[in-house]
Amino acid sequence: MIPIVLKVIIIEDEKRNADALITLINEFCEDVIVVATAENVKDGYKAIKTHLPDLVFLDVELPGGNGFTLFDYYDNPPEFSVIFTTAYSEYAIQAFDVDAVDYLTKPIGIQKLKRAIKRVRDAKEKDLATKNLPPEKKTTVDNTESRIPISTGNTIIYQKINNIIRCHGDNNYTTIYFDNKSKIVISKTLKHYDDELIKHNFFRCHKSHLINLNKVKKFYHTERILLMEDDSKVEVSTRKKEILMKILKGDDVL
């Protein structure tokens, strides 16, 4: 199997800390390349747009605002993974609220660093294995009677997965749309449902959209728009367009 090379950006205002992390990565983490560094969130965001990293190491205490302000640039959770690096432990809960892979306190230990990077690599390998294969090689589960627990306040509702048309993510909330025209807003990220539903023939077609492939009526590939069974229209990102065209049958693509 060809190893997956992870592209990494480090956002860290203290050069000695950035250099120390680069040294650890170069010496102990195979197939990981640091493509850029930045000293503040604004420059880090520019570097992210330029290099499209798989992983960002993000310091908390930065000039001009802490590391959490990076997420203000995104309407939805970004597609790259984030590992926070800081000398302070009190931000850990906030870090995981934004779906951080890990929270490493300085000085960073080698084993903790390797475990955190392994989580990122495992997630990326899973994503590639399940999303980029042709449909005949995908392993899916029959949705007919499968159910998913959905927590609403003090109540857990078990909904049939096959009744779900699509999910729409908005920061730390997800709206789930059902085939009876109802919907429900859950205080969980879209990534949570992506991980739960991928084996049930769902597809993350956009950073904000997760769709049930069994509920697709048409894909207008020129406009990158999906028409779902409830007649809702869903945008498809540029980089997911070709993958989706391979998954859907020719009759569904216009």
Domain enclosing residue 103, as ranges = 6-131
Domain count, the chain: 2
Contact criterion met (CB below 8 Å) for 6 and 14:
no
pLDDT at residue 168, as a whole number: 96
Distance CA 196, CA 172 (A): 16
The tens digit of pLDDT for each residue in 16-61 reads 999 999 999 999 998 899 999 999 999 999 999 999 999 999 999 9
Cis amide linkage into residue 107, ω under 30° from 0: yes
175, part of any domain: yes
d(CA 184, CA 237): 24
Check whether residue 49 and residue 127 sit in a common domain: yes
Are residues 123 and 149 located together in one domain of the fold?
no
pLDDT at 3: 64
Structure tokens given for 238: 């540029």
Supply 22's token pair.
């680069």
190 within some domain = yes
Per DSSP bridges, beta strands 55-59 and 6-11 are: parallel
For residues 115-149, one letter each, b for 16 or more C-beta atoms within 10 angstroms of the residue's C-beta and e for the rest, the string is ebbeebbeeeeeeeeebeeeeeebeeeebeeeebe
Question: Where a domain ends, among 107, 131, 155?
Answer: 131
195 in helix, strand or coil? helix
Q: Give the rounded distance of the alpha carbon of 88 from its chain centre.
A: 25
| pLDDT confidence band for 4 (50 / 70 / 90) | confident
- Which of 67-76, 87-96, 122-131, 194-203 has the least mean pLDDT? 122-131
Q: At what angle do helices 110-131 and 15-28 cross, to 10 degrees?
A: 70
User: Could you tell me if 17 and 120 lie in one domain?
Assistant: yes
Task: Kindly report the backbone phi and psi dihedral angles of residue 23, in degrees, each rounded to the nearest multiple of 5, phi listed first.
Answer: -65, -45
| Domain closes at, from 101, 131, 161 | 131
The answer to whether residues 144 and 125 belong to one domain is no
Q: What pLDDT was estimated at residue 143?
A: 57
The most confident of the ranges 3-7, 48-52, 120-124 is 48-52
pLDDT surpasses 50 at 135 = no
- What's the CATH number where 200 sits? 2.40.50.1020
> Is 198 a residue whose pLDDT tops 90?
no
Residue 131 has pLDDT above 90, yes or no: no
Strands 81-86 and 55-59, bridge-based pairing: parallel
Which residue, 131, 161, 176, sits at the end of a domain?
131
DSSP string covering 159-189: EEGGGEEEEEEETTEEEEEETTS-EEEESS-
In a domain, 220, yes or no: yes
**Do residues 69 and 82 share a domain?**
yes
CB 132 within 8 A of CB 243: yes
Tens-digit pLDDT profile for residues 141-174: 555 558 888 877 667 788 889 999 999 999 889 9
Residues 91, 182 within the same domain? no
CATH of residue 55's domain is 3.40.50.2300
> Within a domain: residue 200?
yes
Which two three-digit tokens encode residue 77? 């959770």
Q: Looking at the domain assignment, is residue 1 inside a domain?
A: no
C-alpha 102: how far from chain center:
14
The confidence band for 234, taking pLDDT boundaries of 50, 70 and 90, is very high
Domain-embedded: residue 124: yes
Is residue 119 located within the same domain as residue 150?
no
116 occurs within a structural domain: yes
Domain contains 224: yes
